[in-house]
C-alpha cells in the first residue's frame, strides 16, 4: 500500500527534484564562472620561478594586440603550503581560468586571494575568473576601476580581440588594502608599502623581504615605453628613489627583471623631464611637441603610440615647476616672449 502511494506521487516528486536541480545549477553558475577542466585537459602555463614560492608568467613586452591576447603585463603567483596568492591575474576571463587551473593542477594549491596592483584593464579584467574568491586592491584602484572599467573593457576588447576577451565581465575588488598590511601565503609574507602615484593615481607596491622581491605594478619598465597614463613624472621619479632604497633582487613591473628595470625607467623619466624643461627654456610652447626629442627610446615598443602623449602630459605637469624656477629669487628673469608662448 505504501509502495503504491509512493509511486503514485512520482510525477510530483520528479518535478520537485528537477526544480531543485535547476536551482543548484543556477547557484553553481553564480558561484564559479566555468566548471574547472580536468588536469589532463588544462592548458599549462609557462611559469618561471623567480624565488622560492614565487612564479611569474611573463607577458609580451609590446603593445596590446590580438597576437598577444592582451597579455602584456606579468601574472604572478606566490605559492606555499597549498595556498596561492595571485597578483595581477591578467587581461580577461580565459587567461584567468588558465591561471586558476594551473595553480590547482601544477601547484596543487588553492587560491586564497587575488591582488590588483593598479586599475589597468590588462592587469585586472581576469578578476572574472576569481569572482568567488577575495579580490583585494587599495581604495584608489577600486575607485578608478569603477570610474573607468566599463570603458576599459570595451577598449581592451577592441585591441585584444573578441576571442581573447570572451566571457569577460568586470569584477570589482571587495577587500581593501592599506599600507602596512601583511599578506600571508603559507609561511611567506608580502608587505603592502606606501601608495605611489607615478604610473596611475594609485599604484600598489608589494615587497617580500624574505627573498627581496618587489612588485612595482606599472612603475618599472624596460624595452617598452613607460606609460604616464594617469600618473605624474615628479611623483614617479620620487617613487623610484624609494623603491631603489629597498635594493630588490627581483622586480616584477610591466616586465620581470632586477633593479635594472628601475634604473631604465628612471633614466627615461629624468630625460623626459629635463628635455621638457629645456624646451620651455628655449621658448617653445606646448603645441610644439616635436621640440622634445627622445630618439634614444625610438626602438622601445610603444614609442610611436605614446611618446607624444607622455610629452604632453609631462609638459602640463612641469609648466608650474618651470615657472617657479624662472621666478625663484636669484634666477634670471624668464624672457617675456616665452612666457606668452606657454600661454600665461
Ligand atoms: Zn598599467
Kindly state whether residues 257 and 336 are assigned to the same domain.
yes
Kindly state whether residues 166 and 292 are assigned to the same domain.
no
In a domain, 1, yes or no: no
The whole-number pLDDT of residue 340 equals 32
> How many Å lie between the centroid of ligand 1 and the Cα of residue 217?
7
Kindly state whether residues 86 and 131 are assigned to the same domain.
yes
Q: Tell me the C-alpha distance between 331 and 328, whole Å.
A: 5
> How many Å lie between the centroid of ligand 1 and the Cα of residue 226?
9
Which of 150, 172, 192 represents a domain boundary (last residue)? 192
Kindly state whether residues 150 and 264 are assigned to the same domain.
no
> How many Å lie between the centroid of ligand 1 and the Cα of residue 278?
28
Q: Give 124's contacts (C-beta < 8 A, 6+ positions apart).
A: 88, 89, 116, 137, 141, 145, 149
Kindly state whether residues 184 and 225 are assigned to the same domain.
no
Q: What is the pLDDT along the chain (344 residues), one digit of tens a residue?
A: 333 343 334 455 554 554 454 444 443 334 445 678 899 999 999 999 999 999 999 999 999 999 999 999 999 999 999 999 999 999 999 999 999 999 999 999 999 999 999 999 999 999 999 999 999 999 999 999 999 999 999 999 999 999 999 999 999 999 999 999 999 999 999 999 999 999 999 999 999 999 999 999 999 999 999 999 899 999 999 999 999 999 999 999 999 999 999 999 999 999 999 999 999 999 998 888 889 999 999 999 999 999 999 999 999 999 998 988 877 665 554 443 333 333 22
In a domain, 38, yes or no: yes
Three-class SS of residue 105?
helix
> How many Å lie between the centroid of ligand 1 and the Cα of residue 151?
15
Sheet holding 182-185, edge to edge: 182-185, 188-192, 206-208, 213-215, 250-252, 256-257
The whole-number pLDDT of residue 338 equals 36
> How many Å lie between the centroid of ligand 1 and the Cα of residue 138?
15
The whole-number pLDDT of residue 31 equals 44
In a domain, 285, yes or no: yes
> How many Å lie between the centroid of ligand 1 and the Cα of residue 15?
52
> How many Å lie between the centroid of ligand 1 and the Cα of residue 218?
5
In a domain, 147, yes or no: yes
> How many Å lie between the centroid of ligand 1 and the Cα of residue 253?
9
Kindly state whether residues 185 and 53 are assigned to the same domain.
yes
Kindly state whether residues 43 and 145 are assigned to the same domain.
yes
Question: Which CATH number goes with the domain that contains 85?
Answer: 3.60.15.10
In a domain, 108, yes or no: yes
Kindly state whether residues 183 and 87 are assigned to the same domain.
yes
**Overall domain count for the chain:** 2
> How many Å lie between the centroid of ligand 1 and the Cα of residue 330?
41
In a domain, 139, yes or no: yes
Kindly state whether residues 176 and 225 are assigned to the same domain.
no
Kindly state whether residues 168 and 60 are assigned to the same domain.
yes
> How many Å lie between the centroid of ligand 1 and the Cα of residue 68?
16
> How many Å lie between the centroid of ligand 1 and the Cα of residue 342?
30
Whose CA is closest to 83, among 175, 186, 182?
A: 186
Cell numbers placing 281: 627654456
Kindly state whether residues 40 and 112 are assigned to the same domain.
yes
The whole-number pLDDT of residue 330 equals 58
> How many Å lie between the centroid of ligand 1 and the Cα of residue 120?
5
In a domain, 283, yes or no: yes
Domain of 267 in residue numbering reads as: 220-344
The whole-number pLDDT of residue 148 equals 92
Q: Identify the DSSP state of 86.
A: E
Whose CA is closest to 181, among 108, 113, 103, 90?
A: 113
Which of 147, 174, 192 represents a domain boundary (last residue)? 192
Kindly state whether residues 186 and 267 are assigned to the same domain.
no
pTM of the model: 0.85
Which of 151, 174, 192 represents a domain boundary (last residue)? 192
> How many Å lie between the centroid of ligand 1 and the Cα of residue 29?
31
In a domain, 48, yes or no: yes
> How many Å lie between the centroid of ligand 1 and the Cα of residue 276?
23
> How many Å lie between the centroid of ligand 1 and the Cα of residue 292?
24
> How many Å lie between the centroid of ligand 1 and the Cα of residue 73?
8
> How many Å lie between the centroid of ligand 1 and the Cα of residue 156?
13
Strands 83-87, 110-115: pairing kind: parallel
> How many Å lie between the centroid of ligand 1 and the Cα of residue 338?
35
Amino acid at each position: 500500500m505504501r509502495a503504491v502511494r509512493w509511486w503514485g506521487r512520482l510525477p510530483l516528486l520528479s518535478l520537485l527534484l528537477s526544480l531543485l536541480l535547476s536551482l543548484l545549477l543556477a547557484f553553481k553558475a553564480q558561484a564559479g564562472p566555468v566548471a574547472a577542466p580536468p588536469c589532463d585537459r588544462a592548458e599549462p602555463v609557462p611559469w618561471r620561478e623567480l624565488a622560492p614560492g614565487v612564479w611569474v608568467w611573463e607577458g609580451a613586452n609590446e603593445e596590446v594586440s590580438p597576437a598577444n591576447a592582451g597579455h602584456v603585463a606579468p601574472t604572478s603567483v606566490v605559492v606555499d603550503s597549498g595556498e596561492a596568492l595571485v597578483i595581477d591575474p591578467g587581461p580577461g576571463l580565459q587567461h584567468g581560468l588558465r591561471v586558476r587551473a594551473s595553480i590547482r593542477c601544477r601547484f596543487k594549491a588553492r587560491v586564497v586571494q587575488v591582488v590588483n596592483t593598479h586599475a589597468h584593464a590588462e592587469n585586472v579584467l581576469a578578476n572574472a575568473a576569481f569572482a568567488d574568491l577575495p579580490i583585494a586592491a587599495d581604495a584608489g584602484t577600486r575607485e578608478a576601476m569603477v570610474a573607468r572599467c566599463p570603458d576599459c573593457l570595451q577598449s581592451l576588447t577592441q585591441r585584444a580581440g573578441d576571442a581573447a576577451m570572451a566571457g569577460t565581465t568586470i569584477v570589482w575588488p571587495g577587500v581593501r588594502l592599506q599600507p602596512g598590511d601583511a599578506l600571508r601565503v603559507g609561511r611567506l609574507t608580502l608587505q603592502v608599502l606606501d601608495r605611489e602615484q607615478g604610473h596611475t593615481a594609485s599604484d600598489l607596491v608589494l615587497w617580500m623581504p624574505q627573498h627581496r622581491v618587489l612588485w612595482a605594478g606599472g612603475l618599472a619598465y624596460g624595452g617598452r615605453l613607460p606609460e604616464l597614463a594617469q600618473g605624474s613624472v615628479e611623483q614617479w621619479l620620487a617613487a623610484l628613489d624609494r623603491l631603489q632604497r629597498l635594493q630588490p633582487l627581483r622586480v616584477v613591473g610591466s616586465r620581470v627583471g632586477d633593479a635594472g628595470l628601475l634604473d631604465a625607467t628612471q633614466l627615461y623619466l629624468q630625460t623626459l623631464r629635463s628635455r621638457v624643461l629645456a624646451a620651455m627654456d628655449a621658448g617653445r610652447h606646448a603645441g610644439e611637441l616635436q621640440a622634445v626629442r627622445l630618439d634614444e627610446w625610438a626602438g622601445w615598443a610603444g614609442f610611436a603610440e605614446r611618446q607624444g602623449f607622455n610629452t604632453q602630459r609631462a609638459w602640463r605637469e612641469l609648466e608650474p615647476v618651470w615657472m617657479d624656477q624662472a621666478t625663484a629669487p636669484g634666477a634670471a628673469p624668464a624672457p617675456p616672449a616665452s612666457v606668452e608662448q606657454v600661454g600665461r
